[in-house]
């Protein structure tokens, strides 16, 4: 079996390894306190052993790992280290997930808890790392990597929209603004927060309620601010501009970006596009004000 095929169809011995790790997490959650190093080790072991789509699918199929991760996040909601580990495990479980696996995660408490981690209220420890992992976990839940041969249909799109709406109701946009203001110079955190915003607001409908909510919660000036603070950081410029292009679909929102301080002639990839040129972002309009 080739490494590529193993990634999607793991051999039985690897699946047994995942079963043991999942069982260890279940035991640790029910028998050790939130501060126990055993619980922390079990969380990281779950994240490390579900790095391939096949192993993640095998782990989620049992459902207990999803419930146990959520329980762990509730045990000590103020520990940034514990929240970060659980968010990273959630991220790995959601990568390349098909609809059935996404439904299991989406219907659990994990999405709500990931938003709470992004808010960071009352947490102690490395808040930037925790928030970055929370953003990455929600991003892959909203926009998983495509599985080879998997044909998405209307049910997948409906699920994606439902996930976006749920995260919005949990105040994810306000949480991203808090994170961007708190860590405006931390490149990786800023990039993944902008990626999450682009995924949440992606779509062709200029009257999309999610774009309006993002605007209402101050997302546009928050993005413009981190762009201005990181003028010489290509990764931030690319991620921030991509998020603005997705969000600023109407003239009103484009004007809001200008009012927030976006440079009308600024483009990190050379001359700005003009009417008649193809947009490099599929399904997105040409935005000249950014």
Top-ranked range on mean pLDDT: pick from 36-45, 139-148, 198-207, 250-259: 36-45
Q: How many CA atoms lie within 13 A of 89 on its CB side?
A: 31
Q: What is the pTM of this model?
A: 0.88
CA angle, corner 90, sides to 247 and 10, nearest 5?
Answer: 120
What is residue 74's predicted lDDT score, i.e. its pLDDT?
A: 96
Q: What is the mean pLDDT of residues 223-227?
A: 96
Q: What percent of the chain has pLDDT over 70?
A: 90
What residues have CB less than 8 Å from 119, skipping those under 6 apart?
171, 174, 175, 178
The whole-number average pLDDT for the span 27-45 is 93
Residue for token digits 């102690």?
Answer: 124
- Helices 209-216 and 154-169 meet at what angle, rounded to 10? 20
pLDDT at 284 (0 to 100)? 41
The arithmetic mean of pLDDT across residues 34-57, rounded, is: 91
Q: Does residue 121 register a pLDDT over 70? A: yes
Q: Count the Cβ atoms, other than its own, within 10 Å of residue 159.
A: 18
DSSP secondary structure code for residue 79 in this structure: B
Instruction: Give the 3-state secondary structure of residue 280.
Output: coil
Residue 155 exposed, middle or buried by CB count within 10 Å (0-12, 13-18, 19+): exposed
Asked if the model's pLDDT at residue 131 lies above 60, the reply is yes
Mean pLDDT computed over 131-152: 90
pLDDT over 50 at 272, yes or no: no
Local structure of 170: helix, strand or coil: coil
Task: Tell me what the mean pLDDT of segment 110-119 comes to.
Answer: 98
Q: What is the pLDDT of residue 96?
A: 78
| More confident of the two residues 264 and 11 | 11
CA distance 266 to 289: 8
Cα(253)–Cα(212) distance, rounded to whole angstroms? 9
pLDDT in tens, 51-69: 888 899 899 887 799 999 9
Cα-Cα-Cα-Cα dihedral sign, residues 206, 207, 211, 214: positive
pLDDT the model gives residue 231: 92
The answer to whether the CB of 169 falls within 8 A of the CB of 215 is: no
- Report the share of the chain in percent with pLDDT over 90: 71
- Ordered by start, the domain boundaries in the chain are 1-140, 171-270+279-290
**Residue 94 · residue 121 · CB < 8 Å:** no
**Listed residue (117, 51, 116, 110) closest to 84, CA to CA:** 117
Give me the phi and psi of 79, to 5 degrees please.
Answer: -90, 110
Q: Are 187 and 238 in contact (CB under 8 A)?
A: no
């Amino acid at each position: 079996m080739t490494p590529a095929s193993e990634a999607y169809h793991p051999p039985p011995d690897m699946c047994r390894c995942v079963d043991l790790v999942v069982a260890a997490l279940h035991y640790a959650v029910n028998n050790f306190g939130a501060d126990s190093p055993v619980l922390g080790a079990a969380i990281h072991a779950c994240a490390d052993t579900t790095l391939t789509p096949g192993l993640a699918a095998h782990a989620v199929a049992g459902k207990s790992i999803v419930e146990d991760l959520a329980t762990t996040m509730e045990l000590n909601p103020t520990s940034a280290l514990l929240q970060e580990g659980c968010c990273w495990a959630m991220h790995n479980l959601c990568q390349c997930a098909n609809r059935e696996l996404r439904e299991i995660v989406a219907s659990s408490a994990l999405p709500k808890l990931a938003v709470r981690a992004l808010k960071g209220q009352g947490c102690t420890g490395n808040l930037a790392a925790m928030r970055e992992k929370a953003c990455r976990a929600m991003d892959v839940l909203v926009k998983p990597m495509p599985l080879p041969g998997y044909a998405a249909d209307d049910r997948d799109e409906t699920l994606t929209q439902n996930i976006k709406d749920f995260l919005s109701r949990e105040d994810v946009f306000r949480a991203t603004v808090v994170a961007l203001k708190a860590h405006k110079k931390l490149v990786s955190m800023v990039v993944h927060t902008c990626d999450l915003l682009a995924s949440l607001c992606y779509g062709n409908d200029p009257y999309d309620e999610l774009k309006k909510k993002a605007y209402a919660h101050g997302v546009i000036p928050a993005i413009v601010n981190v762009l201005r603070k990181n003028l010489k950081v290509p990764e931030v410029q690319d991620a921030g501009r991509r998020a603005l292009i997705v969000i600023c679909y109407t003239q009103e929102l484009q004007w809001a970006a200008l009012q927030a301080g976006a440079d009308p002639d600024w483009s990190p990839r050379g001359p700005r596009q003009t009417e008649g040129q193809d947009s490099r972002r599929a399904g997105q309009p040409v935005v000249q004000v950014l």
